[in-house]
């Protein structure tokens, strides 16, 4: 991408979008087009088409999406499939119509079949049933990938698709009801430490294995793919290493400094038994992640303490003062 290119980061206030924005700024890209949800509703087809017609965008990072953890996906499946289908359909189609040079669409490792062979290869997509707990979200995002590939074949639109592993880092959602594994555990263990709770109960057996990628590494991979990849095939993005949820919780307990015990609620679902991705396609292009899991957790908790904790800790401090 030319440093003077006009670049639209869709979802620039979210976890991935904000990291992409940081990376673009660091690299000297100056013509960045940003719109909040209030300024541009990506579920509004007419508004999205008018935006692309007016702004003359060269490149698009499509990081806007409705996302959430296992609890949110289970409760709000209708919202997840509707909103994601609308967002990606409107943006991909309008970008093509407006002559955008290249678009990067983000999928997710949860789009692969629940019992696909590990590590997850790109060609495993659509080869088996999905994990039921996030099926509406997964189907919507698979439709986005298929749309990118179909527009490439029919119209020659240069749309590429990246499949990130589980992402975490600064800007994450730490809401206890709607967050993913790492921010959810950070919030719960931080709250337990602050409240002096003797134990924290975790969902499931703790045995599922997950792969986690620090979001600034994901942003770096996004820019790398924009510069070095033009294929139709999806590309997995991750470190290629996984950890059990139980071990992850133990690492977060150490980072947070929570002295209590961790227990498991075996009545709760585990989700996928294992998710680790085969990343040789990406690594062959010369990219590698830079931030290890322990360091990433420390950076994430430091960001949480500075940006989120003051707001949730304040009520307790005020009550103590009374």
Residue-wise pLDDT tens digits, 133-149: 899 999 999 999 999 99
Distance CA 70, CA 245 (A): 14
Cis peptide, bond prior to residue 119, ω within 30 of zero = yes
For residue 213, give every residue at least 6 positions away whose Cβ sits within 8 Å of its Cβ, in sequence order, or none: 164, 165, 166, 167, 168, 237, 238, 239, 289
Among 112-121, 233-242, 307-316, which is the least confidently predicted range?
307-316
Residue-wise pLDDT tens digits, 275-306: 899 999 999 999 999 999 999 999 999 999 99
In order, the DSSP letters of 117-155 are: PSSBPGGGTTSSPPPGGGHHHHHHHHHHHHHHHHHHHHH
Instruction: Note the pLDDT of residue 315.
Output: 56
Annotated binding site: 11-17, 106-109, 141, 164-167, 180, 188, 203, 210, 270
The answer to whether residue 15 is domain-embedded is: yes
The answer to whether residue 110 is domain-embedded is: yes
For the chain, the straight-line distance linking the first and the last C-alpha, in angstroms and rounded, comes to 57
70 pLDDT above the threshold of 80: no
Instruction: Note the pLDDT of residue 320.
Output: 39
pLDDT class for 175, splitting at 50, 70, 90?
confident
Instruction: Note the pLDDT of residue 75.
Output: 87
The answer to whether residue 56 is domain-embedded is: yes
Whichever domain contains 216, its CATH number is 3.40.50.720
Residue 164 · residue 300 · CB < 8 Å: no
Annotated binding site for NADP(+): 11-17, 106-109, 141, 164-167, 180
The answer to whether residue 311 is domain-embedded is: no
The answer to whether residue 146 is domain-embedded is: yes
The model carries a pTM of 0.91
**Of all residues in the chain, what percent carry a pLDDT higher than 70?**
97
The answer to whether residue 119 is domain-embedded is: yes
Residue 240 · residue 293 · CB < 8 Å: no
The answer to whether residue 266 is domain-embedded is: no
Residue 170 · residue 19 · CB < 8 Å: yes
Annotated binding site for substrate: 188, 203, 210, 270
Residue 117's domain comprises 7-172+212-241+275-291
Total domains present in the chain = 1
- 112 catalytic? Reply is no
Residue 115 · residue 132 · CB < 8 Å: no
For residue 256, give every residue at least 6 positions away whose Cβ sits within 8 Å of its Cβ, in sequence order, or none: 186, 189, 190, 193, 301
The answer to whether residue 99 is domain-embedded is: yes
> What 3-state class would DSSP assign to 210?
strand
Task: Return the structure tokens found at 233.
Answer: 């095939």
Instruction: Please pick, among 29, 59, 112, 137, the residue that the annotation labels catalytic.
Output: 137
Other beta carbons within 10 angstroms of residue 159's beta carbon come to 25
Residue 298 DSSP symbol: H
């Amino acid at each position: 991408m030319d440093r003077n290119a006009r670049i639209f980061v869709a979802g620039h206030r979210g976890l991935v979008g904000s990291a992409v924005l940081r990376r673009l700024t660091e690299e000297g890209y100056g013509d960045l087009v940003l719109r909040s949800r209030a300024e541009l509703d990506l579920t509004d087809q007419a508004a999205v088409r008018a935006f692309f017609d007016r702004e003359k965008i060269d490149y698009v990072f499509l990081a806007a999406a409705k996302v959430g953890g296992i609890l949110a996906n289970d409760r709000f499946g209708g919202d997840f499939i509707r909103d994601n289908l609308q967002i990606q359909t409107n943006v991909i189609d309008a970008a093509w119509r407006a002559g955008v040079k290249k678009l990067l669409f983000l999928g997710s490792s949860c789009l692969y079949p629940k019992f696909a062979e590990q590590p997850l290869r790109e060609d495993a997509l659509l080869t088996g049933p999905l994990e039921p707990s996030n099926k509406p979200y997964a189907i919507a995002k698979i439709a986005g990938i298929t749309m990118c590939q179909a527009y490439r074949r029919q119209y020659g639109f240069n749309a590429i698709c990246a499949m990130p592993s589980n992402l975490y880092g600064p800007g994450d959602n730490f809401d206890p009801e709607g967050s993913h594994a790492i921010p959810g555990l950070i919030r719960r263990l931080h709250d337990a430490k602050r409240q002096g709770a003797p134990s924290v109960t975790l969902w499931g057996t703790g045995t599922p294995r997950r792969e986690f990628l620090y979001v600034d590494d994901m942003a770096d991979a996004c820019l790398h793919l924009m510069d070095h990849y033009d294929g139709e095939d999806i590309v997995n993005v991750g470190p290629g290493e996984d950890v059990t949820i139980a071990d992850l919780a133990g690492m977060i307990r150490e980072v947070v400094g929570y002295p209590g015990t961790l227990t498991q609620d075996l009545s709760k679902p585990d989700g996928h038994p294992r998710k680790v991705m085969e990343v040789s396609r990406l690594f062959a292009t010369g990219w590698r992640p830079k931030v290890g899991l322990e360091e990433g957790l420390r950076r994430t908790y430091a960001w949480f303490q500075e940006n989120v904790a003051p707001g949730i800790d304040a009520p307790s401090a005020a009550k103590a003062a009374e």
